[in-house]
Amino acid sequence: MIRLLALLLFAALPASAETVVAGQSLDEIGITARFDGSEVLIYGAVRRDAPEPEGPPLEVIVTLEGPSGAVTIRKKTREAGIWINTEQVGVAATPSYYAVASTGPLADILDPAEDVRQRISVPLAVRAFSGPLEVDDARPFTEALLRIREAEGLYSLSEGTVRLVEGTLFRADFRLPANLVEGTYKTRIFLLRGGKVIDAYRAALPVRKVGIERILFALSRQNPLAYGLLSLVLAVTAGWAASAAFRFLRS
């Protein structure tokens, strides 16, 4: 009886479990006054309990997602010679930054059902709309949001840029723009075979202001009055110093 149970348990286990072992080149990104972007390398390997199975090749998708927030998308139309907001759509949560890198075209390596389940592709990263829709078709609004953020370098899709060496080692390079939002960024790695996700890995990448920028940011949130007075003093001091330097140069 015990042998029978052991055999049944063994048969229920996957023949060749494949899991992700990964890391990233940075543990944290610090934003300073001179911050002009950063590069992040996400790397890893595939750990197997048995020889690589035959069949569809192994594919890898890596995503890097910034903090999400609510967004209102407005449409302007010309009324009586004046451009005014006539329609709007609210999105409950959309990433401030979202980048996808893969070993091949998503249409070829990712099953649409898996995409919906995991929200991997850029359009599906935009979450559900907030409140009832007041427009007949919301697609132009979401398409406009994606187009604007792609132009700003905040959304990107890089197909075929993840290098998979001998079906085991892989790496993905991300270039983060200067206009990053402070918060915790999420790294996700998906292993796929035949369009199906067989394993996933998740990690966090903190992005925060450092130095004097961090102090001023915290002061503006915790004590707005003191921050306003300090800004006024700095503005007056800078104006007086510029005026004194100008008089000195003219004398």
Rounded Cα distance between 64 and 207, Å, is: 12
pLDDT for residue 69: 87
pLDDT for residue 125: 85
Mean pLDDT within 33-42? 84
Answer yes or no: do 229 and 158 share one domain: no
Beta pairing class for 29-31 and 196-209: parallel
In whole numbers, what is the pLDDT of the chain averaged over residues? 80
Answer yes or no: do 49 and 172 share one domain: yes
Answer yes or no: do 145 and 160 share one domain: yes
Q: What percent of the chain has pLDDT over 90?
A: 35
Among 49-58, 110-119, 143-152, top mean pLDDT goes to 110-119
Number of domains the chain is built from: 2
pLDDT for residue 1: 44
Answer yes or no: do 137 and 250 share one domain: no
Answer yes or no: do 231 and 120 share one domain: no
Answer yes or no: do 124 and 191 share one domain: yes
CA–CA–CA angle 138, 158, 176 (5° rounding) = 90
Domain boundaries, position 148: 13-67+95-209
Answer yes or no: do 165 and 115 share one domain: yes
Rounded Cα distance between 88 and 76, Å, is: 9
Q: pTM score > 0.85 for this model?
A: no
